[in-house]
Amino acid sequence: MAASMFNGPISRRRLAGLLGTAGMGAVGVALAPGGVDRGSAAPGLHPSQADEAGHGAHAGHGTDAAATGDAPAARAATPSAGGTPARTSWAEMDAMHEAGIKAFPAPTAGLGGQLLPYELDGDVKVFRLECQFTQWEVSPGEIVEAWTYNGVVPGPEIRVTEGDKVRIHVTNRLGESTAVHWHGLYVPNSQDGVPFITQPPINPGQSHTYEFQIRDGNAGTHMYHSHLNAAVQVTKGLLGAFIVEPKDPSTRPPFDREYTVVLNDGPIGGFSVNGKSFPATQPLTAKKGERVLIRYMNEGLMIHPMHLHGMAMDVIAQDGYLLPQPYRCDTLNIAPGQRFETIVEATELGVWAFHCHILSHAESEHGMFGMVTALIVEE
């Protein structure tokens, strides 16, 4: 399965189309093309969503549409008293919230986590990573100086199979030394990426080559990231997913599509999912009835309990290792360095919010931001 199939960019047009097909008019409107004036104090009214009630196999109990009627005249901004700083009016707050939703998924430059191609040298898969300064658009118009592998956050996804021989050339174009740790992989000590313990640091302008064979039993969701000045380098973007597929796929639970969800936080990029802040995050999509594998990894400095609306998750693996007893939850607490694999049975139609439940990582008075995306289940 090509990574571009499940990690590819999803345009607002495509999302609007999907939703239109599914008959979700209201969301379709929210996602329809057209600029939103974020500064407007008197935004266009949101259309009644009474028509969206009752769809889906389990609805059957109509919304009290009368009570959800069109937005009232009170939506106009509350004027502030002259001379005192105005608190944002509720109508302004709503307008900012709405603008964020309407913009989702907002186009930004750059998309991380795409599959890293390799060359074969005999039976060795040869990958190349270059540590770079990158102007990275975290959310529309918010551009930060990220430190990246190959110009993207997260770095490109390395995906191999148990037993594979792997060689990775790393070149450092940054202003300080670095080194790469293969977090979760069994590697010879000399390849572990810890400066002055297992190798000299990779100085600016220099290169270093890592080489190891993927051990049987080491399948699962792993990571690669800097291990030098890492509190800075990793939160600035020197991180990526390292996925090891099992030689025998029947050893792991089956799934129909998969997503990797890389969590990060830090003073530069803020709260992000796969290198982007809402509304620039990419939604996950599934067709009804599919089993969706979601691979989580936390590259930040804080915990992030990820909450999926609408459907539970079966937690099947931790740090790559299959759990002897999977368990079910809807809010999965992920600490820095941890990875989890979950299977979601996409049984419920609709656009389901999916966010960190530390609410201050996901929403402010100005609307949703940061660690927010959605799972979209369509017919």
**Binders of a copy of itself in range 37-96 (CB under 8 A):** 46, 48-49, 52-56, 58-64, 67-68, 71-72, 74-75, 90, 93-94
Burial of 153 by CB count in 10 Å (0-12 exposed, 13-18 middle, 19+ buried)? buried
* Tokens linked to 28: 């379709």
Distance CA 238, CA 365 (A): 31
Nearer to a copy of itself, 256 or 319 (CB): 319
CA dihedral (120, 124, 127, 128) in degrees, to 10, reads -90
* 3-class SS of residue 276: strand
Among 236, 276, 295, 307, binds a copy of itself (CB under 8 A): 307
Site for a copy of itself in 340-359 (CB under 8 A): 348-353, 357-359
Query: What's the closest the beta carbon of residue 362 comes to a copy of itself, in angstroms?
Result: 8
Site for a copy of itself in 238-297 (CB under 8 A): none
| Cβ count within 10 A of residue 2 | 10
* Tokens linked to 373: 């995306």
Among 3, 101, 129, 158, binds a copy of itself (CB under 8 A): 101
Residue 51 main-chain phi, psi, to 5 deg: -75, -10
Distance CA 116, CA 134 (A): 18
Nearer to a copy of itself, 161 or 206 (CB): 206
Binding pattern for the stretch 112-131 against a copy of itself, x by CB under 8 A and - elsewhere: ------------x-------
Among 79, 83, 120, 189, binds a copy of itself (CB under 8 A): 189
Residue 178 carries which DSSP code?
B
* 3-class SS of residue 115: strand
Query: What's the closest the beta carbon of residue 154 comes to a copy of itself, in angstroms?
Result: 16
Q: Is 301 in the site for a copy of itself (CB under 8 A)?
A: yes
Among 10, 20, 161, 211, binds a copy of itself (CB under 8 A): 211
Distance CA 360, CA 357 (A): 8
Query: What's the closest the beta carbon of residue 210 comes to a copy of itself, in angstroms?
Result: 7
Q: Judge whether 239 and 299 are in contact, CB under 8 Å.
A: yes
Residue 92 main-chain phi, psi, to 5 deg: -65, -45
* 3-class SS of residue 285: strand
Nearer to a copy of itself, 25 or 140 (CB): 25
Q: Judge whether 182 and 176 are in contact, CB under 8 Å.
A: no
Q: Is 229 in the site for a copy of itself (CB under 8 A)?
A: yes
Task: Output 82-89 pairs: Cβ under 8 A, ≥24 positions apart.
Answer: 88/365, 88/366, 89/41
Among 12, 14, 38, 167, binds a copy of itself (CB under 8 A): 167
Q: Which range of residues in 106-114, 134-142, 247-255, 298-306 is near a copy of itself by CB under 8 A? A: 298-306
Among 120, 175, 250, 254, binds a copy of itself (CB under 8 A): 175
Among 191, 221, 260, 277, binds a copy of itself (CB under 8 A): 191
Q: Judge whether 275 and 112 are in contact, CB under 8 Å.
A: yes
Q: Judge whether 367 and 97 are in contact, CB under 8 Å.
A: yes
Q: Is 310 in the site for a copy of itself (CB under 8 A)?
A: yes
Nearer to a copy of itself, 139 or 235 (CB): 235
Sequence-separated (6 or more) residues with CB below 8 Å from residue 141: none
Site for a copy of itself in 356-375 (CB under 8 A): 357-360, 362-365, 374
Query: What's the closest the beta carbon of residue 351 comes to a copy of itself, in angstroms?
Result: 5
Among 27, 280, 292, 344, binds a copy of itself (CB under 8 A): 27
Query: What's the closest the beta carbon of residue 115 comes to a copy of itself, in angstroms?
Result: 22
